[in-house]
Amino acid sequence: MTNNQDENTSEFKAFKLDDSTRRKLSSDNYSKCITVYNRINKQLVNDYPNITGTGIRLKVTNGEVLDKPSILIMVKKKLSLQKIKELGEKILPIEIEGVPTDVEETGEIIAMQNASDPEVLQNPSGCILKPGYKINAAGGRGFSGTLGCFVKDRADGSISLLSNHHVIGKYGIGDRIIQNGEYIATVSKDIEYNNNINLVDAAIAKSRRPVDLQIPGIGIPHGIRQVPSVTDNLLVKKTGQRTGLTTGKIATLGLVCNKLINVEKGPTPVLKRFDQLYEIEPAEGNNFFSDEGDSGSIVLDADRNVLGLLIAANPLNDPTIPIKKSYVCTIENVLQMLNIELLTEDDW
């Protein structure tokens, strides 16, 4: 399967503003910010190839969140004006059509598959399959990720596990999925990357074992939470095989676009752009939401409604980025593009 992209995927998809944000924002300024962003977003990335993502958020200056909506411009590394001139690159604008910009250094964002370090959650051999535990593709040369949840294939009604393309799908339909050395599932659908804009990093594998919908530390998914009902600053959680149960919050006022992600672990980066991603920052008191090996985890709100599928983050060993961000594709896009249904407590 390949993904057919929508020409309008880069348009801003706004969240519902929480009460504190609504009190801070002028509706006229926010509307203007959205209008300008939608008009210039694609051209901005074409004009400034060093941009690694865009979005809209309240402007942050010296660590203080201001009452101004701004066009978020992400770069891998902020450079001095002198260095920019030496490299012959253009200086990013401080405002666009009267709307302030907010340049954020994000470091490298990588797909969160794990190579060798021990996982936190390992399902014992021969057990019923559960979300949150380590899985890997037979063709994956030891790279592993997380079993996110279980779904039903609308095409044939079969029960499948959901994870990422880069965890289980990249080695082809029919590849065997392994847990503790045992063959537990067979890849049946996969969304391959393209060289334009990607919306998801997802694949499913048909289960060969009985399944348990319980996510360790969270419970059984209740349903899905669609983008228009998501609020900025919303608290979310996930359980992954590397970092276990963690909490975070929505970091922007809407979905992030043009996000540049290194999808290939190894000496040679393979960079792909993604639209319509949640940007998650760790909850207060933590400096990370996910790490390598957590790819494929599903992200839920406090009521166990699924928002999306974890695909990438800052690696924890990057000392230049103190607060690590994570990126999540929407569950709506995943379900639609794979033609599947989420299994919830109503199916248990």
The model's pLDDT over 266-299, given as tens digits with 9 standing for 90+, comes to 778 899 999 999 999 999 888 899 998 999 999 9
Copy the structure tokens of residue 22: 């609504």
Is 156 within 8 Å of 172 (Cβ atoms)?
A: no
Q: Is 240 within the bounds of a domain?
A: no
DSSP helix/strand/coil, 261: strand
Give the chain's mean pLDDT: 90
Is 135 within 8 Å of 164 (Cβ atoms)?
A: no
pLDDT at 64 (0 to 100): 84
pLDDT at 89 over 50: yes
What amino acid is encoded at 179 in this protein? Answer: Q
Average pLDDT over residues 192-201: 95
Cα-Cα-Cα-Cα dihedral of 10, 238, 291, 63, to 10°?
70
Cα-Cα-Cα-Cα dihedral of 141, 290, 147, 227, to 10°?
-130
Q: Is 60 within the bounds of a domain?
A: no
The parent domain of residue 148 ranges over 126-216
Q: Is 249 within the bounds of a domain?
A: no
What distances in angstroms separate CA 31 from CA 14, 26, 36, 69, one per listed residue?
A: 11, 9, 9, 9
- Cα–Cα distance for residue pair 331/67, rounded to 1 Å: 30
- Cα–Cα distance for residue pair 275/159, rounded to 1 Å: 28
Phi, psi of 38 (to 5 degrees): -65, -30
CB hemisphere CA count around 121 (13 angstroms): 25
In tens, the pLDDT along 158-176 reads 999 999 999 999 999 999 9
pLDDT at 122 (0 to 100): 61
pLDDT at 115 (0 to 100): 58
Is 323 within 8 Å of 174 (Cβ atoms)?
A: no
CATH number where 186 lies: 2.40.10.10
Q: Is 137 within the bounds of a domain?
A: yes
β-strand 95-96 against 277-282: which pairing, if any?
Answer: unpaired
Q: How confident is the model at residue 8 (pLDDT cuts 50, 70, 90)?
A: low
- Cα–Cα distance for residue pair 4/202, rounded to 1 Å: 14
Q: Is 32 within the bounds of a domain?
A: no
Q: How confident is the model at residue 5 (pLDDT cuts 50, 70, 90)?
A: very low
Copy the structure tokens of residue 153: 């294939």
Average pLDDT over residues 233-261: 95
120 or 17, higher pLDDT: 17
pLDDT at 345 over 90: yes
The count of domains in the chain is 1
In this prediction, what percent of the chain has a pLDDT beyond 90?
A: 69
Q: Which residues are bridge partners to 326 per DSSP? A: 280, 313
pLDDT at 2 over 80: no
Q: Is 155 within the bounds of a domain?
A: yes
pLDDT at 125 (0 to 100): 55
Q: Is 281 within the bounds of a domain?
A: no
In tens, the pLDDT along 307-335 reads 999 999 988 878 888 889 999 999 999 99
Q: Is 183 within the bounds of a domain?
A: yes
pLDDT at 79 (0 to 100): 85
pLDDT at 14 over 60: yes
Average pLDDT over residues 68-72: 95
The secondary structure of residue 162, as a DSSP letter, is E
- Cα–Cα distance for residue pair 298/132, rounded to 1 Å: 8
pLDDT at 3 (0 to 100): 46
pLDDT at 26 (0 to 100): 83
